[in-house]
A and B are shown apart, each in its own frame.
Chain A
Amino acid sequence: MSVSESEPAPDPKIKTIEELYDYLYKGLQLEHATLPPYLTALYSLRPGTNSDARHVIRVVAVEEMLHLTLVANVLNAVGGKPDLTKPGFVPNYPTRLPCGPDYFDVHLRPFSREALDTFLKIEKPPEAATEQDRFVPMDWAALGLTSDGAPPPPEKLAQLEESGTLFGLVPGEPSKRFASIGEFYEEIIRGINHLEDQARQAGKTIFTGDPARQVTPEYFYSGGGDVIEVTGRDSAVAALTLVAEQGEGLYGGIYDSQDELAHYYRFQQLEKGRYYQKGDEPNEPSGPILHVDWDAVYPVKPDIKMVDLSRDPEILAAAAEFNQFYATFLTNINLAYNGQPDLLLKAVWEMFRMRDSMNRLVRNPLTGHAGKNAGPTFEL
């Protein structure tokens, strides 16, 4: 993704501050939506095995948490209010993400070649796009959402736009979608530049948010890159650029500006059985061999729902408790993003407890689903 400085963008989609809030909410929803699939795969790895895969998925998941925080910082900086507790914020899996000409399904499933393939698609660097093909006509029929390919009726459309089951739509233009997530973030950066230029002409700024609402580095420890405090245009663009390039790499390279290997190439190491090292070209890792044991995985039932657990009351109770705990956890994160950043430190403890709960779930065999295990359903 190329990041335009403040040069005027051709007809930005974002023309009001409310539209910018909508886009940034979508960004929060999107960054979070990658976590349940990554965590399900991560905790499906059998203990004592697959240390390479465990490490790779864990690093990516932690960086997605950084992205969530960065988007929240941008939204707070422009005077918006993050809300991770809205109905529909957590997708009912599978959800759909755009990747070039196609949509693809993102499932909750155990670590496998198919899961890895999905992860690669999630993080795939976009093709160099011309101005026109940053957008793709929306094929509603292909998604099975309408029969004639036209957008669904307004009520249904509003529901789809609010739920996390479909990402990449151009808000307010149901006949179009973004070609990739990178282009979605590019549009946000253009919107910020456009609105800030306008504001400055009137002697104002859009960066009116209370600085106390920023999550600053003392509240965020992870090793997943540095959290950026957003106070104006430059730091907003830097934060959003980091979100995009940590996934895909910077300017076609395999590293981002903080010298971290981009997610796409981290995952590719598992596919190719080899680590990248400094100086490598994309798609040609030449570092140490790594080993993936595809069979050392708990067979978590894909896209598992509470209804699948009806014959196992103990598992059902544990899964319900996990979902309840997760809802509370999101509420706490939301408070942290709304003026109480110190709550993030406590949230880390909650994350470790959720890790233990997820581990217990995936190790439990299901009754009536031969050879399948339970897992967190993330139904909130």
Chain B
Amino acid sequence: MTQTTDAENNLDEFVKFSAAVTGFSEFDLWGTGQAEEYYKTVLNQEGPEAIRKVIASDPSAVPSDPVVNSIIKLWYVGVWYGPELVGRMDVAAWTAPGRSGAKPAVPDDSRPEESRSLLATSGRLQDGEDRAHGEVERKPLFVVSPDAYTEGLLWRAIGAHPSGAKAPGYGSWVNPPVFED
């Protein structure tokens, strides 16, 4: 067996902590296929010190650290809401534009000037970007990846499937939602 690296350990710890705060099992969180991506997102956005602090904290603490809230929301909806946005109910990245079809769901004043494009940015590093915190531009709101949307825990929590993905089969809508334990 090869020696486990610090990076793998940190990822494991991140998933373990996430399980405690989301109410889903570690198995379910790994099962989304998003663990690495989410870990990197938090690392890039908040930095290694913040993530270390969060993981070491008591998962049952109330009120929780805003970064913890960001992590919970990340797992449930696949969207990174920076701690400054995480409590906002009017911010829904993947339903933009709003009902009118024209108005963006996120008011422009809720975001810094430089991150106006709503859906185009992801947590993935672009060419030339450096992974280290501080050199990556902070993006308070973005969909982590196309799969993050379909893997959001919210779908399983409500016994539904993400519209347009993970089709449950023709005619399955005659059944009530299946809730898991």
Contacts and interface: CB of A to CB of B under 8 A. Distances in A.
A340 to B, nearest CB: 16
B179 interface: no
B170 A221 contact: yes
A318 B27 CA distance: 8
Interface string A321-349: 00000000000000000000000010011
A364 B146 contact: no
A370 B147 CA distance: 26
A364 B27 contact: yes
Interface string B151-180: 100000000000000111111100100000
B27 A48 contact: no
A47 B170 contact: no
A345 B171 contact: yes
A30 interface: no
A365 interface: yes
Contacts of A363: 30-33
B45 interface: no
Interface in A331-380: 345, 348-349, 351-353, 356, 359-361, 363-365, 368, 370-371
A274 interface: no
Which among A315, A348, A349, A370 has the greatest number of chain B C-beta atoms within 10 A? A349
A46 B28 CA distance: 16
B146 A314 contact: no
B57 interface: no
Main secondary structure of the interface of A (DSSP, over half): helix
A363 B4 CA distance: 18
Given A314-B26, A370-B2, A359 B31 contact: yes
Contact of A352 (B27, B151, B166): B166
Nearest to A365: B30
A222 to B, nearest CB: 11
Nearest to B19: A314
B1 A370 contact: yes
B22 interface: no
Contacts of A368: 1
Contacts of A48: 145-147
Nearest to A312: B27
B27 A351 contact: no
A349 B173 CA distance: 10
A315 B170 contact: no
B168 A314 contact: no
Given A318-B27, A348-B169, A351-B169, A47 B33 contact: yes
Interface string A46-65: 11100000000000000000
Contact of B28 (A349, A352, A353, A360): A360
Contacts of A317: 27
Given A314-B25, A361-B31, 20 more contacts: A46-B33, A47-B147, A47-B151, A48-B145, A48-B147, A314-B26, A315-B27, A345-B171, A348-B170, A349-B168, A349-B171, A349-B172, A352-B167, A356-B166, A360-B27, A360-B28, A364-B27, A368-B1, A370-B1, A371-B2
27 contacts: A47-B33, A47-B150, A48-B145, A48-B147, A221-B170, A318-B27, A318-B31, A348-B169, A348-B170, A349-B168, A349-B171, A349-B175, A352-B166, A352-B168, A352-B172, A359-B31, A359-B33, A360-B28, A360-B30, A363-B32, A363-B33, A364-B27, A364-B30, A364-B31, A365-B30, A370-B1, A370-B2
Q: Across the A-B interface, give the 6 residue pairs with the lowest CB-CB distance, nearest first.
A: A360-B31, A314-B27, A349-B169, A47-B147, A364-B30, A348-B169
